Structure 1
Amino acid sequence: MKKLIYLLVAGFLIASCAESKTVTVTVTNSTSSDRMNEMVEVAMNEVASKLKLADTAQIVVLDADGQQVPYQITYDEKIIFQVSVKGNGTAAYTIQSGTPDVFNVKACGKYYPERLDDVAWENDLVAFRTYGPALQAKGEQAFGYDVWTKRDTTDPVVEARYAMELNPETLAKIDSLTKTNPEAAKELRAATSYHVDHGNGLDCYKVGPTLGGGTAALMVGDTIIYPYCYKTQEILDNGPLRFTVKLVYNPLTVKGDASVVETRVITLDSGSHMNKTVVSYSNLKESISVAVGIVLHEPNGEVLANAQKGYITYVDPTDNINNNNGKIFVGAAFPANVKEAKSVLFSAKEKEQRGGADGHVLAISDYIPGSDYTYYWGAAWSKANIKDAAQWNEYLANFTVKIRNPLTVTIK
């Protein structure tokens, strides 16, 4: 009997040790600035192997105080979560078996066939969209990314905006009123349009036939090869902390070769104003320039173009400067060296072709065939958390330092 008790106790201790096994994630900050709420990645297969997990969904991530940290397992099998690390310091997080809390969705997106194949996405700070084949089939030229502003909420808002904008009953009523009471039709459209701020922001950014809010495009000499709307889309991650979409485009004609196909993978994390974008071009035969552009809606607008430090910014006046829409701050940042950064204004003829836009601020780099070109682009709004150009430029400067000096993550 005593031997049986010993065996039972030993078995309990072994089981307890197995259940209490943990993985320690140490995050090191090599910069002198504090890194707050920054996303890191850990390989899921390595954690699962160390914890001997049968069900990889049943883990928890804990901070130094033992409190659960929201996390997500991504399409490429990474555990992502936000960390805070003091300048030149380290921080430790623990991953172990357990039942995770329910986390609020802070980054998400959707394909909207009902709105001409838009793909739109957002996080707790800002929202974006890109245009699809149904829009291209209509002949409308919209090459670039669109920016949707957000304020006074960290919850998702984009799906509700589309639902209000595209409600069939409302649209039918507007159509009917247009024939009998145009003023009432106008009022109802304003009351349901996402181009009007109903309390949490709006779409007041003008893309037109330009590169919009930070699209990449190949260049031959000084000529931009404008990409059209995407051909196919695949949403790879959809919250709660990261949204990722893969876009494949119709073939481009580059130096007479009509077989060059562009692929983009766009990722937006919670807590960031910036989308990470990885671009590749298949079938290119030689190195070529690639430019990231932000459309200019003033010939002498507030632009910062710093090739050495690796970022560009622009203060956009919005599509209705007299409507108290504030200012939209747009920018792009580059982890690798930028060859040239500058403003390029359109000729009078091209200005007419580009919907009245005045030009682009461009950051130009070299693209080597077979490689991935990675950069970041995004926006903020003066009616939300970033109030002026100085604050936005500081954000981009700090952000560029971070992507050029990533946090170091080790696990044991």
Structure 2
Amino acid sequence: MKNTKYICLFFLLLPLILLSQNKEIIEIQNNSDLERNETVVAVKWEAVLSRYPQIDTSNFVVINAATKKQIPYQLEHKGLPAIQNLLVQVSVKAKTTLRLFVQKGKPNLVETKTYARFVPERKDDFAWENDKIAFRTYGKAIENTNEDAYGFDVWVKRTDKMVINERYKLGNYHKDNGNGMDYYHVGHTLGAGNMAPYVKDTIRYSANYHQWKVLDNGPLRTTFQLVYDEWNAGGIKVKAVKTISLDAGSQLNRVENVYTFEDNKAMPVVVGIIKRPEPGLISLNEQSGIMGYWEPTFVEDGTTGVGSILTTPVKNMLVNNGQILALAEVKNNVPVVYYTGAAWDKAGKIMNSAQWFEYLNRFSQDLKNPMIANVK
């Protein structure tokens, strides 16, 4: 009778015993006072390899140690042949540590939550999106036409599905066909948070991007580069490379700009958001580098919130010629990083200016207190 009990207990514990074999442990530490929900975290691939050198990249799973369920992941290359990071999307409560296992197994299909592509059929647009929002910027073919625009465009959406290809195929993306639309106007401004040199108190716009390269394309993070030919920025000859990343679940892009110019002095730049003539709500925090705007409501189309967060010192914030601007400086060939993006009230998540400004403040706090990933 006793042996029968032991046998039954053994079979009950067998799944846990098997799970504990041939596994490595990844710890994701959230040391902040804020709960982190569905956040994409990068784990250095070399750290995974150091503990699991024989890993088969086509046959492994990441398991939540507490729930025993698979965690969605992506192998990030950053445009290089070798894997750079293991990206995992996780939720971690404040002041706690999440433990994950890496082991052999067939991974579940990860839903595509980020996507980007060059759009030659629409005058060289480059468009990108995640499960919250979408954006586009303009290419060479549209230059010197009445449709040309200098800044980042916003495509609002109220679905977690990818919509870019469908909208371009339909061709009438200025109309809401059920999942959102493009009603954001950019014109000859920086739009939704583009950056440009600000020389002699004037924005020195470049031409549109002329080269592009996708470095990673989902399912959890999409990253691409845009290259801008040399232009005259108020007497300074400047070139620029912009590397833009968008994570699943985020309203904001990470933008890394590298400006090349022949000068030992720092060059002034601005991040700008177009301001509408109708009344809207503006929130400026120079000390934290947060610039938020809740646009006036368009009766049928709803309301868009736009915001930018600078990670370098802000010299000033101001409203100039219909734009909200944050002034900073860049050095020759030294990357400068900031975050910019948007939200739409009809998506049902961020419904008013208070929620949007709070989102920006919290995003800024998250940047200052990133989660820490270690492989044990």
Q: Same fold (TM over 0.5)?
A: yes
CA distance in 2, matches of 1:137, 1:78: 41
CA distance in 2, matches of 1:257, 1:219: 11
Post-superposition shift, 1:57? 3.0
CA distance in 2, matches of 1:48, 1:247: 32
Q: 2:88 aligns with which of 58, 81, 89?
A: 81
1:88-138: CA deviation from partner (whole Å, max 9, x where unpaired): 222212222322111111111211100001111111111100111111154
Report the AA paired with residue 303 of structure 1: I
Q: 1:388 aligns with which of 335, 348, 352?
A: 352
What does residue 319 of structure 2 align with?
A: 343
Q: Does 1:103 find its partner at 2:73? A: no
What does residue 226 of structure 1 align with?
A: 205
Alignment map for 1:13-24 (pairs within 5 Å): 20-24=21-25
What does residue 33 of structure 1 align with?
A: 34
What does residue 306 of structure 2 align with?
A: 330
What does residue 371 of structure 2 align with?
A: 407
CA distance in 2, matches of 1:407, 1:336: 20
CA distance in 1, matches of 2:277, 2:369: 34
Report the AA paired with residue 355 of structure 2: Q
Post-superposition shift, 1:46? 2.4
CA distance in 1, matches of 2:280, 2:247: 29
Q: Secondary structure at the match of 1:149?
A: strand
How many residue pairs end up in the alignment? 352
What does residue 123 of structure 1 align with?
A: 130
Q: Does 1:247 find its partner at 2:218? A: no
Distance change in 2, residues 1:405/1:122 (3 Å): same
1:321-351: CA deviation from partner (whole Å, max 9, x where unpaired): 34x111110001123332222222x2xxxxx
What residue ranges of structure 2 are gaps of 5+ in the alignment? Answer: 1-16, 79-83
Report the AA paired with residue 194 of structure 1: Y
TM-score when normalising by structure 2: 0.89
CA distance in 1, matches of 2:339, 2:296: 22
What does residue 51 of structure 2 align with?
A: 50
1:250-302: CA deviation from partner (whole Å, max 9, x where unpaired): 112135243x2100000011100000010001134120112110001126531
Asked if the contact 1:48/1:56 (under 8 Å) is kept, the reply is no
Asked if the contact 1:21/1:51 (under 8 Å) is kept, the reply is no
Q: Does 1:376 find its partner at 2:354? A: no
1:138-171: CA deviation from partner (whole Å, max 9, x where unpaired): 46431100000101x2111110010011xxxxxx
- Which structure shows the bigger proportion of residues in strand conformation? 2
Asked if the contact 1:61/1:71 (under 8 Å) is kept, the reply is yes
What does residue 311 of structure 1 align with?
A: 290
Q: Does 1:365 find its partner at 2:372? A: no
Q: 1:278 aligns with which of 246, 256, 277?
A: 256
Asked if the contact 1:327/1:381 (under 8 Å) is kept, the reply is yes
1:18-54: CA deviation from partner (whole Å, max 9, x where unpaired): x933221112222211111111101223212321225
Q: CA RMSD in A?
A: 2.0
What does residue 157 of structure 2 align with?
A: 150
Post-superposition shift, 1:68? 0.6
1:211-240: CA deviation from partner (whole Å, max 9, x where unpaired): 000001111131111122101011111111
CA distance in 2, matches of 1:223, 1:142: 17
Report the AA paired with residue 69 of structure 1: I
What residue ranges of structure 1 are gaps of 5+ in the alignment? Answer: 1-15, 166-192, 347-358
Q: Does 1:161 find its partner at 2:167? A: yes
CA distance in 2, matches of 1:55, 1:95: 11
Report the AA paired with residue 66 of structure 1: K
- Which structure shows the bigger proportion of residues in helix conformation? 1
Based on CA coordinates, which of the two structures has the bigger radius of gyration?
1
Alignment map for 1:123-272 (pairs within 5 Å): 123-136=130-143, 138=145, 140-151=147-158, 153-165=159-171, 193-258=172-237, 260-272=238-250
TM-score when normalising by structure 1: 0.81
Report the AA paired with residue 305 of structure 2: F
What does residue 67 of structure 2 align with?
A: 65
Asked if the contact 2:210/2:227 (under 8 Å) is kept, the reply is yes
Asked if the contact 1:28/1:91 (under 8 Å) is kept, the reply is yes
CA distance in 2, matches of 1:335, 1:287: 16
What does residue 8 of structure 2 align with?
A: none
Report the AA paired with residue 307 of structure 1: E
Report the AA paired with residue 325 of structure 2: L
Asked if the contact 1:51/1:96 (under 8 Å) is kept, the reply is no
Post-superposition shift, 1:85? 1.8
User: Following TM superposition, where does structure 1 have runs of at least 4 consecutive aligned residues deviating by more than 6 angstroms?
Assistant: none
Report the AA paired with residue 407 of structure 1: M
Q: Secondary structure at the match of 1:161?
A: helix
* Higher deviation after alignment, 97-106 or 116-125: 97-106
Asked if the contact 2:279/2:296 (under 8 Å) is kept, the reply is no
